[in-house]
Amino acid sequence: MASETDVIIIGAGASGLSAAKELTRHGLTYTMVEGSHRIGGRAYSEEIAPGEWFDLGCAYLVDGLANPFTPIADKLSITLGKDKSDLLEDKNISFQHNGVPLSEEQRAARVQFYGDSYKAMIDAAKRGQDVAISDMIDLDNEFAPPLLSDIAITWGMDIDQVSTADMAGPAASFGFPALNGYGNLVAAWGADVTVSLNTRVERIDWSGSGSHGMSVETSKGMIKGRTVLSTVSTGILASGDIAFTPVLPDWKMDAFHNLPMGTENKMGVYFDKDVFGTDGRGRYSIWNDDDQTAKVEASVMGLNVAVVFTGGRHGVWLEKQGQQAGHDFAVDRIAEIFGNGIRKHAKRSIITAWNTEPWTRGSWGCAMPGQTHQRANLERPVDARLFFAGEATFADAPGTCHGAYHSGIRAAQQIATQLNGGL
């Protein structure tokens, strides 16, 4: 690990990795440190069964062919589910209440309610109202529960915590998954980047002067650089896990605290046989009269795996109940769709716990009502030497892996302009 460098990059997720590659293109040196044992950040795949992978974090190449990781995957000969994208489209979601699919009349009423609700949110944003989504929704409608669950999963926060202005941002398609994991795709792409793993940052000192006036204290020693690029989450920045000397200005601290981390948790369940059938593959939105709601993705890539999603306060609550509670919740939800006979075939599960994940403290940054402008403040450099990147800084695609990727390139270009005129 170099003790002096042009740029000290903190965090080896998609934003840090893309920044490192871009800095190299500009002829600048970098030293990248990562607190955990691996690269990829919130892009992380684990093997749920031999040869079958589950994405604990980002799982969809959002925007499909327009996603920068799509050509990267093609170049690396990594299989993508491009032909499965139709299964992920909203029009093909199966809605079930108390285990029974909606009738045609109910489906039409559900579509109308969703359309009216989203229009109300977008119209409010167009009027300049950066307010809570809860102010725009008829909570007494019979189809409010699945909509509220969908928002909590999509944003990681409940409707009273999500801004209409954030919701009205650029629309994106679900895209498609990677057969062997989006996390593995990111790791393969970033394998050529030099990273010091298991290197926890303790303090960033930006009080110095001179050519290498920036100092970063880590668990493995001190690094000096001309600039620092932080790509860590707002959860880490707001928690005080990394100290700053001197203390950062109020406008920057406000950005950390007003873009708190939402939580989306996923429960992947592996079955020892195909319990879905060809017609059962796809996405489901389910709810019952016991107030149990969830999204379920059943074998989209043709594997014997179903993924159950939950988010917001319920996602955090369920995480605190422990791994077994998460497994039981997931199996119960899958059984609502495919019958109790599936239970004996559920052999293994992977349950995420993003709210308590020590290196992120959540899934992604979510603007509180009235605080959408903080994304620009989060991205804004301090003293022209301390730069910031990450999904929460990229208003065009917050909460996404490709948003993080683009933010890293943007920050690297800003740094190159600062240090050498962008040559």
For 241, counting Cβ atoms within 10 Å of its Cβ (0-12 exposed, 13-18 middle, 19+ buried), the class is: middle
Instruction: Give the span between the Cα atoms of 344 and 250, in whole angstroms.
Output: 55
Helix, strand and coil content of the chain, in percent to the nearest 5, comes to 40, 25, 35
* pLDDT value at residue 407: 98
Q: What is the CA radius of gyration of the chain?
A: 22
* pLDDT value at residue 247: 97
DSSP E strands in 42-191: the ranges are 45-49, 52-55, 60-61, 94-97, 100-101, 176-177
pLDDT per position as a tens digit, 234-274: 999 999 999 999 999 999 999 999 999 999 999 999 999 99
- Contact (CB, 8 A) for 279 and 324: no
pTM to 2 decimals? 0.96
* pLDDT value at residue 123: 93
176/327: higher pLDDT: 327
Does domain 4-39+195-259+365-420 bear CATH number 3.50.50.60? yes
Mean of pLDDT values over 400-406: 97
* pLDDT value at residue 86: 78
* Confidence tier at 1 by pLDDT (50, 70, 90): low
* pLDDT value at residue 300: 87
pLDDT per position as a tens digit, 331-358: 999 999 999 999 999 999 999 999 999 9
Q: What one-letter code names the amino acid at 361?
A: R
- Contact (CB, 8 A) for 269 and 306: yes
Please report, for the chain, the start and end positions of each structural domain, with discontinuous segments joined by +. Answer: 4-39+195-259+365-420, 90-160+264-356
* pLDDT value at residue 379: 98
Which residues partner with 264 through β-bridges?
311
* pLDDT value at residue 423: 46
Selection from 129, 135, 131, 159 nearest residue 147 by Cα: 159
Report residue 94 as tokens.
């199966």
Does domain 90-160+264-356 bear CATH number 3.90.660.10? yes
* pLDDT value at residue 274: 96
Instruction: Give the span between the Cα atoms of 114 and 105, in whole angstroms.
Output: 14
Bond preceding residue 246 cis, omega within 30 of 0: yes
Is the pLDDT at 298 greater than 60? The verdict is yes
pLDDT per position as a tens digit, 41-98: 999 999 999 999 999 999 999 999 999 999 999 999 999 988 887 777 777 899 999 9
